[in-house]
Amino acid sequence: MPVLEKNETEVLVIGGGIAGASTAYHLARHGRAVTLVERGGIASEASGVNAGSIGSIGWGDEPDLQSYLTMGSLQIFKTLQLDAGCDIEFRQSGSLQAIQTEAQYDFIRDKVLRLRSEGYSIELLSTREARAVEPKASPDMLGFALSPFRAQADPVKATQAFAAVARREGAVVLTHREVTTLREAGDGSYRIGTSEGELRAGALVIAAGAWCGPIGEMLGLRIPIVPVRGQMWATGSVSPSVYHTISAAESELQWHGDAGDGTPPDLTHRDGRRVTRHLYGRQTRQGEIVFGGDRQSAGFDKAVDTDGIEVNRGQAVEVLPFLSRLPIERTWAGLMPFSPDGKPIIGRIPLRKNLYVVTGLASSGFGRGPMAGKLLADYIHSGHMPQPLAEADPARCVTDAG
């Protein structure tokens, strides 16, 4: 490792969400001098306000990027909880997806058959079978898809754990420090202006979630990340009542084949009008039942839309009728980083020297961020792109701002 001055580092990571914290941790494990800079606290944006669902259905017979990101992240979460001494409230609870109409049943049955033939772990349960493992599920459902690998963890504790183990491995983690300017020096290194003075780095990782666009602009680049508002609500603490993570099939059927047409795919609203209802949630270890679903493109606005919360609660009550007796105690919203084609953007930005990005993790970045950070750290350390990242190549969409 080169001798570094106090304000110098080999790799500087912008963003203390799960993507940046995991990248910093894995770079530090490789023995790299790494500094993470976060303008708020660790997990102060999407990575701290999400539902804590971890999505994975197995490696499949021919693992693709999605298999690596989900199953790799599952292993990393397990290691944090079971081996690294970090209680992140991880639990491989499995997930149940509720089927409410005949059309949804046909769609999910075909999906389950296809995924099983490709080597993934997913089952179709009758409502009676589902109620044997999730007793408060509504008997009025037509069935459920069970994904046994799906899991859950506390988002704030998990993201902060990555920053803590990164520090343990030697990373410098600077919070409440905003990156305000970026300048590429002639030798391919970077000068980073922050709210508390200048830093220098041999390489830069942009892990700024929904704010990757403004960070890219500082370097004359267009990183096409669209902030998408997700919102949630929670009941007060109640005794253990919901055991799996819970979702519903309505939105998946609606979004099947949605290409987005230049805007991000898989949104609940188009042109200000609702196109579907989306539902996901779980019960936390403290006993709160948290649910959410709406995904709207509304710029950087994080105000909660109460009508959307009511629609979401209505669907949650259809799936778990006992929720009708529990008042909503709090609501909140956060911004997810969506790319126009819905795929992650992870890797080297070839338009500049020593510049990397990890983003576009969309609505499932909590469950995919740990492995996204590891794959990028492996890339930076080895100089070779891990094969699964070919699908996430930034060269497909990051351009000069012009």
Residues that bind ligand FAD (CB under 6 A): 14-20, 37-40, 44-47, 49-53, 178-179, 207-211, 215, 230-232, 280, 292, 334, 336-337, 359, 361-367, 369
Give the distance, in angstroms, between the CA of residue 106 and the centroid of all CA atoms in the same chain. Answer: 29
Residues 192, 178: contact at Cβ < 8 Å? no
Identify which of residues 56 and 100 has a Cβ nearer to ligand FAD in the complex. Answer: 56
Provide the minimum distance between the beta carbon of 73 and ligand FAD in the complex, in angstroms, as a whole number: 9
Provide the minimum distance between the beta carbon of 249 and ligand FAD in the complex, in angstroms, as a whole number: 17
Provide the minimum distance between the beta carbon of 199 and ligand FAD in the complex, in angstroms, as a whole number: 11
Closest by CA position to 253, among listed 91, 62, 107 = 107
Query: Cα(279)–Cα(266) distance, rounded to whole angstroms?
Result: 13
Provide the minimum distance between the beta carbon of 117 and ligand FAD in the complex, in angstroms, as a whole number: 26
Identify which of residues 308 and 369 has a Cβ nearer to ligand FAD in the complex. Answer: 369
Identify which of residues 109 and 287 has a Cβ nearer to ligand FAD in the complex. Answer: 287
Provide the minimum distance between the beta carbon of 173 and ligand FAD in the complex, in angstroms, as a whole number: 12
* β-pairing verdict for 269-270 and 221-222: unpaired
* β-pairing verdict for 95-99 and 143-147: antiparallel
Query: Cα(248)–Cα(253) distance, rounded to whole angstroms?
Result: 10
Closest by CA position to 123, among listed 48, 39, 58, 216 = 58
Identify which of residues 32 and 295 has a Cβ nearer to ligand FAD in the complex. Answer: 295
Provide the minimum distance between the beta carbon of 66 and ligand FAD in the complex, in angstroms, as a whole number: 12
Q: Extract long-range pairs of 102-107: CB within 8 Å, 24+ residues apart.
A: 102/142, 103/253, 104/142, 104/249, 104/250, 104/253, 105/142, 105/143, 107/249, 107/252, 107/253, 107/256
Which single residue is written with the structure tokens 């304000």?
7
Identify which of residues 120 and 211 has a Cβ nearer to ligand FAD in the complex. Answer: 211
Q: Where are the alpha helices (DSSP H) in 169-261?
A: 212-217, 250-255
Query: Cα(22)–Cα(373) distance, rounded to whole angstroms?
Result: 5
Identify which of residues 117 and 348 has a Cβ nearer to ligand FAD in the complex. Answer: 348
| Helix or strand (DSSP H, E) at 239 | none
Provide the minimum distance between the beta carbon of 297 and ligand FAD in the complex, in angstroms, as a whole number: 13
Identify which of residues 127 and 331 has a Cβ nearer to ligand FAD in the complex. Answer: 331
